């Protein structure tokens, strides 16, 4: 498995350093696309042709998925110290700054968690967001800051967290007073 991880890493990282335009694209996909993806997620949900109640549920599930994703990744990295490729290997083309340990990828965990939560409410949107999440993850491998297994592990963990977030939000929304409180707060802003 280690050889596959290493081979895949070099395959993607070899795209870095070939041309300024290629490096710009990798940096954009790895570093800036996550911000655009988050904005796109909110825009699609808000502009969607679903009820206000469904929109609130989607946003709550995604927000919970993000929080849980970051917390779980921090806990895993506290106990499991896996060096980033640029710290473990010579000759890595690192295109964006990163620090700390690499497994699992917080970007992959969070964006796949959002994808899984979105999938529950709209399958096409969830799949589309998962493809976008995969592009972000692979770009981070190409940028030299993650191993392929960091992305794979983050995607699996994120899918589980997204599913759990949907279950928790569904449970919360069974209580009608909780729904009224959340909807009132979102309308007063």
- Number of domains within the chain: 1
pTM: 0.83
Domain for residue 25, yes or no? no
In a domain, 110, yes or no: yes
Tens-place pLDDT, residues 3-36? 898 889 888 988 888 889 999 999 999 999 999 9
Res. 177 pLDDT band, cuts 50 70 90: low
Residue pLDDT, tens place only, 87-112:
888 888 888 888 888 899 999 999 99
Using one digit for the tens of pLDDT, what is the confidence trace for 31-67? 999 999 999 999 988 888 888 888 888 899 999 999 9
Q: Is residue 120 part of a domain?
A: yes
* 63 in any annotated domain: yes
Domain containing residue 128? 36-92+100-188
Tokens matching residue 60: 């709550």
In a domain, 24, yes or no: no
Give alpha helix (H) positions in 80-145.
85-88, 106-121, 123-142
Assigned domain for 163 exists: yes
Q: Is residue 145 a part of any domain in this protein? A: yes
Asked if the structure places residue 31 within a domain, the reply is no
Give me the residue label for tokens 């977030």. Answer: 165
pLDDT band for position 135 (50/70/90)?
A: very high
SS3 156: helix
Whether 152 shows a pLDDT value over 90: the answer reads yes
The Cα–Cα gap between 99 and 78 comes to 14
């Amino acid at each position: 498995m280690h050889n596959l991880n290493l081979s895949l890493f070099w395959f993607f990282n070899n795209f870095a350093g070939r041309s300024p335009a290629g490096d710009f694209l990798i940096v954009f996909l790895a570093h800036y696309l996550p911000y655009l993806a988050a904005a796109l997620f909110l825009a699609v949900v808000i502009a969607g042709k679903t009820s206000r109640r469904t929109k609130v549920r989607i946003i709550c599930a995604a927000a919970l998925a993000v929080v849980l994703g970051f917390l779980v990744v921090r806990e895993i990295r506290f106990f499991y110290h896996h060096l980033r490729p640029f710290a473990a290997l010579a000759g890595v083309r690192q295109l964006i700054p990163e620090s700390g340990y690499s497994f699992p990828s917080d970007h992959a965990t969070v964006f796949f968690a959002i994808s899984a939560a979105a999938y529950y409410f709209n399958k096409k949107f969830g799949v589309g967001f998962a493809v976008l999440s995969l592009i972000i993850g692979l770009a981070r491998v190409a940028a030299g800051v993650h191993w392929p297994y960091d992305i794979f592990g983050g995607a699996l963990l994120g899918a589980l967290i997204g599913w759990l977030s949907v279950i928790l939000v569904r449970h919360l929304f069974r209580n009608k007073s909780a729904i009224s409180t959340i909807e009132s707060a979102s309308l007063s802003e």
